[in-house]
Structure 1
Amino acid sequence: MIKKGMKLYSILFGACPKCHQESMYIEKNPYILTDTLKINDTCSHCNTRYRMEPSFFYGSMYVSYGVGIAFALVSFAISYLILESSLLVAFFSIVGTLIAFMPIIMRVSRNIWINLFMNYDISLVKK
């Protein structure tokens, strides 16, 4: 079970990496493409600044590559190895998966990137 206080919680749900009390994103639905990467400036609960410096999230592009490869490998394994399709079908499965999950891959990559630099702080949670 994934609970608040775990980095995985912040990564999967886009919660503030310091307090896990609210979403970093203005729009929770990543498939509203105009707002996929729009992020609040600070957390309204703990006042954590999400953009520590200008262009901070450019580093998440490197993480995005790895996350995209993971999605592609899962797609390949399901289509080619489990469903025993042809390589051409497996290729189109990978392309379709990457297109369909692009907003999620971008957000998860940003979440991983910011969680590399910030840790959960239990003292920020009201008891």
Structure 2
Amino acid sequence: MFGKKTKFYSILNNKCPRCHEGDFFKHKASFNIKKVTALHENCSHCNLKYMMEPSFFFGAMYVNYALAVALFVAVFVISKVIFQQTILTSFIAVVVVSLLLTPFTLRLSRIIWINLFVNYDKKYGTKSKEVSTK
């Protein structure tokens, strides 16, 4: 289910959605706001252009919104129901967790967004680099 040739593999490993070989982000993980969403221009393996059109990743805002709402609801329910916190402390927990996980959700939303439009192609997924010169 999470093996190569699946979208989950590309999303969880931050790999190119077409070949699953090249890295999607320039930096592995960072809390530096300038580095958190820095992408390579093209895939180093299959030469897929990541910014397919101007402002392509503006659509990732919708994915990020959905992730953030799911995170807010989960943290609030865990805080309120399981730990029996007051409403104020539950909201404080939501704010703190959302601030800490913002870099993660930003990166996740971008990789999910591009995976909605680009599918794995086995001719690019080979180990040889000769495909990337075409």
Moved over 3 A (4+): none
| Alignment-derived partner of residue 88 in structure 1 | 88
User: Using the alignment, how far apart are the partners of 1:70 and 1:35 within structure 2?
Assistant: 25
Contact 2:37 2:107 survives alignment (8 Å): yes
What's the TM-score, normalizing by structure 1? 0.92
- Percent identity reads 40
SS in 2 for 1:124: coil
| Alignment-derived partner of residue 56 in structure 1 | 56
Counterparts of 1:1-127 in structure 2 under 5 Å?
A: 2-126=2-126
For the aligned residue pairs, the C-alpha RMSD in angstroms reads: 1.4
1:35-56 alpha-carbon deviations (Å, 9 max, x no partner) = 1111001001011110101111
Tell me the CA shift for residue 13 of structure 1. 2.5
Contact 2:18 2:125 survives alignment (8 Å): no
1:66-86 alpha-carbon deviations (Å, 9 max, x no partner) = 010111112112211111111
Gaps of 5+ in 1: none
Say if 1:31 and 1:13 are closer, same or farther in 2 by CA, change over 3 A. Answer: farther
Aligned length: 127
User: Using the alignment, how far apart are the partners of 1:12 and 1:70 within structure 2?
Assistant: 18
What's the TM-score, normalizing by structure 2? 0.88
